[in-house]
Structure 1
Amino acid sequence: MSPAKKTVEHLDVLVVGAGLSGIGAGYRLQTECPDKSYAIVEARDSIGGTWDLFKYPGIRSDSDMFTLSFPFRPWKAQNSIADGPEILRYIKDTAAEFGIDRKIRFGTRVVAADWSAATSTWTVTVEQDGKRSTLTCSFLYSCTGYYDYAQGHMPVWEGIDDFAGQIVKPQFWPEDLDYTGKKVVIIGSGATAVTLVPSMADDAAHVTMLQRTPTWIGIVPKQDKIANNLRKVLPPGLAHQVIRNKNVAYSLGVYELCQRQPKLMRKVLLGMSGKALRDDAALAEHFTPSYDPWDQRLCAVPNADLFRKIREGKVDVVTDHIARFVPEGIELKSGKVLEADIVVPATGLKVQLFGGVVPTVDGAPANVHENFVWQGCMLTGLPNFALCVGYTNASWTLRGDLTSRLVCKVINEMDKVGAASVVPVPDGPLEGRPLLDLASGYIQRALNDLPQQGHRGAWRVRQNYFVDAATTMRRDLHKTLRFDKAASEVAEPERATA
């Protein structure tokens, strides 16, 4: 007697990733598609994504929490710029409050995903404790973010093996690292570096921030006084919405001014930094970039903490290039040697979509770069598939929540018209443009691995939340999406008339 055939589990929707995006997706699926079965698979053993992974000193948001938090669960803490543990608690509490945590399968890594046109389903291969299994789903939603959790970007430096000290990567910060009384060199000038430097300065013997080129810095208050006052007089939900719109308008206004009036914004940003630094020579050498503001992402410094530590003499900034590592530290091209006990390469992220998995369609790998993004989330050539990618000039969650609501709308429309599959189809020729329009190194290195955006309409990835909020849920889905019935349903009439 042959053994019984094992039944493959089927879900209406499979969400990949239990970070900020995945928890938001779970909430929207429960409230807007309540009759759909779904699960969230998470490769790691905890909720939180980025905010659970990164443990380095001072880890915090560089977006205000009134826009980074979910619109359906107001941010209640006092700090607008919050630290990592505070954000992680918020995510976990949200998942528990709405029962989303019961839908998460931890330690479950997606290793393959294949779309079948014949069955209108995705077959997803997952790995748990070294063992692989498969399940199927009608819709696949990737909420894995856009960088590699397993490794960051690490340049190749001559002599790095000769260094007698310790190399510590921010993405994998050792919990037992003791840097008290030690000389620390942090390589980089982005968000990670400007967070680490002031956070380590009080305990380390000295901290040096080594950068190749300066980065634009915006000084922001850690607490939003207007927001905190509004919360005293308005109901929580209304206060959250008012504060959220206020902060979106402010950040969008800064971005637009940077794009339209770069000379003016250079003066504004340099004026803020100069007032905090109180050293014109250092301002010119270390904090005056050659590029315009927001050609790369602006770094937020809460309460000017970086500049305060520089003034106190606990931090130096060096603008130079690395020639090689030597036993005692780093030799620069200028000939100077920076002595170090610990070197932290805060050299950026490695961009990666869908956790590194290349989706296949009927067994053929999809060339993601040749595909166009519809509404910033669905891809041409990949039916019943969406990914969540946030804004580059504003909080991730603003677009993330819009995307999850749109995915729910598409799924409900499939039911309404009796479709088994849906795929974006251009309504005319498209001019290909980079998905993420930033000059940052981590973006430029990944351009050939990312899908493209178009130049108009639903194919353009706008960096304007107010425009997206007004248009995303009102767009005519049938103009740029093709809804198809199952292959078996299409074939049935042919067999009947044969």
Structure 2
Amino acid sequence: MTSTAERTTATTTDTETEHVDVLIVGAGISGIGAAHHLREQFPGKSFVILDALDSRGGTWWTHRYPGVRSDSDLFTFGYKFKPWRGASIASSEEILSYLDEVIEEDQLGERIRYRHRVSSATWSSAEQRWTVDVAREDTAEPVRFTTGFLWMCQGYYDHDQPYQPRWEGLDRFGGVVVHPQQWPADLDTAGKRVVVIGSGATAATLIPALADTAAHVTMLQRSPTFFFARPRTHELAETLRALDVPDDWTHEILRRAYIAEGDMIARMSFESPDELRELLIESMRPQLPEGFDIDRHFNPSYRPWQQRLALLPDGDMFTAIREGRASVVTDTIETFTETGIRTSSDEELAADIVVTATGFDLSLFGGVAFTVDGEPVDFTSRVTWRGIMMSGVPNMAYVFGYFRASWTLRADLVSEFVCRLLAHMEKRGVTSVVPTLRPQDADMPLLPWAVPENFNSGYVMRSADRMFKRGDREPWTHLLEYAEERTALPALDLDEESLAYR
């Protein structure tokens, strides 16, 4: 077992090469969590975390728009191994501080290399290792890593290029147009008329924050979204803390409470969607102005949880609407004008600033070019292995979270599984593992990676053609619920036929 990272210089290319037992790509929630588990379970293994950004946190580092916060409770979005001590719904600053504590406690700072953008990953069966080429964005110098195991924790969307449709007349608009993912630090919205295009989680975060100082904020949505108001701080957490209950107890109790509630809502979305729809609508009604047209603006055509429920801490967006600081228009855009937007129903929306909260695009494995034994990997023809590994790709795991539960719940499960797999490989005395289609899978249909009847948000549908496939049977499936996986993944037989060890 390698106890320290090894450095060599490849004289043929003048590129510095460093070898580690495990290479983690991404220093956000997933990557930092993976590093914690590695350090705890394999203190003798060497590892490095690479990240293209300037600092830790991923989404929480890149998103700088007003009010940016979690859309999940922090008792489940926080790690299983580290108690959360703040409010249930947290700001990006609070989340970054939490991650900083993990980095300091686990002494991960020395293991993270920022401004290191991975460009390619090449597997050699002869050498039983990955060669990973990296561009250092601070010096523009190429560097190279070799590793026995590659752990992709880079997140799931394109940090550099958000999704933004093109609208008629956009070039003649005289105001400012900004996407939340590229929010300028010097943008002053105080006293301005703001139109936010979109109605997802980002819009739900932005609108109440902007409404505090803007002249008025209008949410312009093409179609409605389900909104769900929750207390920013759970009453049970306040009670337990007042009783001086230890933080780790409080964390576990609240974590179980939120998981149980999430399981119930997810189950209702499939088993009794009409009942859940009525529950959501009736929970909104008393928080909105009298006469507000809920059916038009907040009653989507899709099934509850077929797209993400947008969380409103303390109903903050409803408060802004009720107080007249924000309003909702459900319509399509006919054209931009010099002074705003004209909708298809000929309504004029005056604007000084237009915020295009139109979402993002998925980025498969951060755009890294993969090669296995000289052959480029076309992931659109590969099949996922339980949403953790890919068919025909040795010694590579990835993290993709849940749609209906906190991302970190799955990141923790995947970390536990990968560590169990690494220990199993050591016990068997093997150096590689490859998810491999079995003889009975030879005629298995390759299905789109997502099922619209299950979840059909725009970023999922837009990205289907660039994603990997799934099968119609285990283990070639993914996108399950936490209620299914929290017992299934820990119980998996690591000697099953679909895993080929060498």
When normalised by structure 2's length, the TM-score is 0.93
Q: Is the 8 A contact 2:24 2:153 kept in 1?
A: yes
Distance 1:241 1:480, change over 3 A: farther
CA distance in 1, matches of 2:272, 2:396: 39
Q: 3-state SS of the aligned residue for 1:474?
A: coil
Q: What is the aligned partner in structure 1 of residue 221 from structure 2?
A: 211
Q: CA separation of 1:331/1:4 partners in 2, compared to 1, >3 Å: closer, same or farther?
A: closer
Aligned alpha-carbon RMSD (Å): 1.7
Any idea what SS the aligned residue of 2:319 has?
Answer: helix
TM alignment of 1:231-270, pairs within 5 A: 231=241, 232=243, 234-270=245-281
In structure 2, distance between residues paired with 1:197 and 1:174: 17
User: For residue 424 of structure 2, what is the aligned residue in structure 1?
Assistant: 413
SS in 2 for 1:179: coil
In structure 1, the residue matched to 2:89 is 81
**Distance verdict in 2 for CA 1:321–1:178, change over 3 Å:** same
Query: Does the alignment pair 1:107 with 2:118?
Result: no
| Correspondent of 2:332 among 313, 321, 325 | 321
Match of 2:462 among 442, 445, 452: 445
Q: Cα offset for 1:244? A: 0.9
Residues 280 and 479 of structure 1, relative CA distance in 2, 3 Å threshold: farther
How far apart in 2 are the matches of 1:95 and 1:413? 27
Q: Displacement of 1:100 after TM fit?
A: 1.3
Runs of 5+ in structure 1 lacking a partner? 486-498
Q: Which residue of structure 1 aligns with residue 492 of structure 2?
A: 475
Is 1:131 aligned to residue 141 of structure 2? yes
Residue in 2 aligned with 1:37? 46
Deviation (angstroms), 1:151: 1.1
Deviates more, 1:272-281 or 1:213-222: 272-281
Q: Give the match's secondary structure for 2:236.
A: helix
Q: Is the 8 A contact 1:322 1:333 kept in 2?
A: yes
User: What's the offset of the Cα at 1:323?
Assistant: 1.2
What CA deviation, in whole Å up to 9, does each residue of 1:169-216 have, x standing for no partner? 100111111111110000000000011111100200110000000011
Q: Distance in 1 between matches of 2:377 and 2:436?
A: 16
* Equivalent residues, number: 482
SS of alignment partner, residue 136 of structure 1: strand
Write the distance in 1 (CA, Å) between the matches of 2:158 and 2:419. Answer: 27
Partner of 1:185: 195
Matched, 1:336 2:347: yes
Is contact 1:462-1:468 (8 Å) kept?
A: no
* Cα shift at 1:480: 4.1
Structure having the higher helix fraction is 1
Tell me the SS of whatever aligns to 2:369: coil
Match of 1:457 among 474, 483, 495: 474
How far apart, in 2, do the equivalents of 1:333 and 1:193 lie? 21
Match of 1:143 in 2: 153
2:433 counterpart of 1:391: no
The reply on whether 1:435 has 2:449 as its aligned counterpart is yes
C-alpha distance in structure 2 between counterparts of 1:330 and 1:312, whole Å: 24
Cα distance, 1:434 vs structure 2: 3.9
In structure 1, what residue type is equivalent to 2:331?
D
Deviation at 1:226, TM superposition (A): 1.2
8 Å contact kept, 1:185–1:340: yes
- Report the Cα offset of residue 11 of structure 1: 1.0
Matched position secondary structure for 2:293: helix
Report SS of the residue matched to 1:452.
Answer: coil
CA distance in 1, matches of 2:380, 2:257: 36
Distance 2:311 2:20 in 1: 41
Aligned to 1:282: 293
Counterpart position of 1:368: 379
Q: How far 1:281 sits from its partner (Å)?
A: 4.3
Structure 1 position 65 matched with structure 2 position 70: no
| Alpha-carbon distance in structure 2 between the residues aligned to 1:357 and 1:462 | 22
1:323-373 Cα distance to aligned partner (Å, 9 max, x none): 111111111111122111100000011111211113111232212122222
Q: Does 1:175 align with 2:185?
A: yes
| C-alpha distance 196-266 of structure 1, shift in aligned 2 (>3 A) | same
Query: How far apart in 1 are the matches of 2:263 and 2:497?
Result: 28
**Residues 19-34 of structure 1 correspond to what in structure 2 (within 5 A)?**
19-34=28-43
Deviations 1:414-464 (A, max 9, x none): 111121211112343245444344211110011121222333333332533
User: In structure 1, what is the Cα distance between the partners aligned to 2:76 and 2:479?
Assistant: 17
Contact in 1 for aligned 2:151/2:396 (Cα 8 Å): yes
Inter-partner Cα distance in structure 1 for 2:173 and 2:497: 56
- Describe the superposition over 1:127-148 as per-residue Cα deviations: whole angstroms up to 9, x where unpaired: 0132212221111111011100
Aligned to 1:117: 125
Identity within the alignment, %: 43
Off by >6 Å, runs of 4+ in structure 1: 3-7
**Residue 157 (str. 1) matches residue 144 (str. 2):** no
Between the aligned partners of 2:109 and 2:17, the Cα distance in structure 1 is: 23
Q: Closer, same or farther in 2 for the Cα pair 1:436/1:27, shift >3 Å?
A: farther
Counterparts of 2:479 and 2:249, CA distance in 1: 27
Mapped to 1, the partners of 2:408 and 2:266 lie a distance apart of 17
Provide structure 2 residue ranges, at least 5 long, that are not aligned to the other structure.
1-9
Q: Could you say which residue in structure 1 is the equivalent of 2:308?
A: 297
